[in-house]
């Protein structure tokens, strides 16, 4: 994974794992790799991984069992909310771009539907 040097690495790692949970790449109840293994996988300091995991735990996206390790939450509502929030964030960005282009909602929705039908490809502009 390449990290953006302008943003804290722990935050980028936190966002990556958060997206993996929202996308179902990490499933509810799944045991996470150890902090050391994650540090090796991502090529970062274990303290950086620990800080990212603390943020995920603070959001109740992961849970710690002192004897067994860290696990993805099994709370489906928490995971569903995470996915919806990510979607709404993307919508807010899209609405901002449409507004900057003085595009009407009707036009934006038509264009979105056209892209959706094409599977989000960049063809057919």
Q: What pLDDT does residue 120 have?
A: 73
- What does pTM read for this prediction? 0.77
Mean pLDDT of 107-112: 94
Please check whether residue 28 is in contact with residue 73, taking contact to mean a CB–CB distance below 8 angstroms: yes
Local confidence band at 98 (pLDDT 50, 70, 90 cut-offs): very high
Q: What pLDDT does residue 122 have?
A: 55
Q: Which residues contact 101 (CB under 8 A, 6 or more apart)?
A: none
- Rounded-to-integer distance, Cα 72 and Cα 44, Å: 21
Q: What pLDDT does residue 38 have?
A: 96
In this predicted model, which residue has the larger pLDDT, 124 or 111? Answer: 111
Average pLDDT across the chain, whole number: 92
Mean pLDDT of 91-96: 95
Q: What pLDDT does residue 46 have?
A: 97
Tokens linked to 78: 């928490």
Distances (CA, A) of 22 to 9, 53, 100: 20, 15, 29
Distances (CA, A) of 119 to 27, 61, 92, 104: 25, 29, 20, 23
Q: What pLDDT does residue 121 have?
A: 59
């Amino acid at each position: 994974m390449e990290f953006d040097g302008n943003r804290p690495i722990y935050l980028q790692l936190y966002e990556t794992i958060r997206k993996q949970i929202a996308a179902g790449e990490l499933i509810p109840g799944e045991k996470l790799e150890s902090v050391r293994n994650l540090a090796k996988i991502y090529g970062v300091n274990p303290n950086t991984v620990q800080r990212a995991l603390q943020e995920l735990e603070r959001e109740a996206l992961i849970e710690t069992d002192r004897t067994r390790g860290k696990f993805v939450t099994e709370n489906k509502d928490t995971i569903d909310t995470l996915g919806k929030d990510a979607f709404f964030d993307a919508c807010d960005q899209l609405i901002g771009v449409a507004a900057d282009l003085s595009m009407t909602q009707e036009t934006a929705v038509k264009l979105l539907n056209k892209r959706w039908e094409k599977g989000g490809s960049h063809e057919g502009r």
